[in-house]
Amino acid sequence: MGKIAVLHGINLQTLGRREPDIYGRVTLEAINSRLRRMGREAGVEVDCRQTNCEGEMAGWIAELDPDDFLIINPGAWTHTHYSIPDAIRAAGTPALEVHLSNIGARESFRARSVVAPACLGQICGLGAGSYYLAMNYALERMTGRAPGRTAEGVEEDE
């Protein structure tokens, strides 16, 4: 079993203080902490990283294996940076694109993602919940069971 890489793009280190009416008040560290805990509880390694350098992001993606899973929030690179989807395709790693805000309901230039076609899907507009839903999907895909469920798929507290 591979690992789950959670890669945060440009300016996401400012979460919690940057435009809280759009991005919320949760910090990147709080999101990463919860994602790591979710992975630990499922027995899956979670590697969270943030960069403001596109080349560094592409390099991290290139290090991934097809057995890994990528959750990526490219930030503003979503709309213009073709090296990110190219790196995802080259790595052969299944990926989900996430965004805190609903990119389709904001400025028109944000509505189109050049990254989405390289991913299995996109989750956006749910604040930090976008990340947590992506993590649930990744964990289920990697372990064959949903978090909080037994291997048979029955709720553990039933």
Most confident stretch, 63-67, 77-81, 154-158: 63-67
**Is there a contact between 67 and 1 (Cβ–Cβ < 8 Å)?**
yes
Note the CATH architecture for domain 4-143: 3-Layer(aba) Sandwich (3.40)
**Active centre residues (catalytic):** 23, 99
Percentage of the chain exceeding pLDDT 90 = 66
* Residue 106: alpha-carbon gap to chain centroid: 20
Whether the CB-CB separation of 140 and 109 falls below 8 Å is answered with no
Angle between helices 28-42 and 129-143 (to 10 degrees): 20
Q: In the 3-class helix/strand/coil scheme, how is 134-156 assigned residue by residue?
A: HHHHHHHHHHCCCCCECCCCCEC
Q: How far apart are CA 23 and CA 28, in angstroms?
A: 11
Predicted structure pTM score: 0.87
User: For the segment 77-127, what is each residue's pLDDT rounded down to a tens digit?
Assistant: 887 778 999 999 999 999 999 998 877 656 666 667 889 999 999 999 999
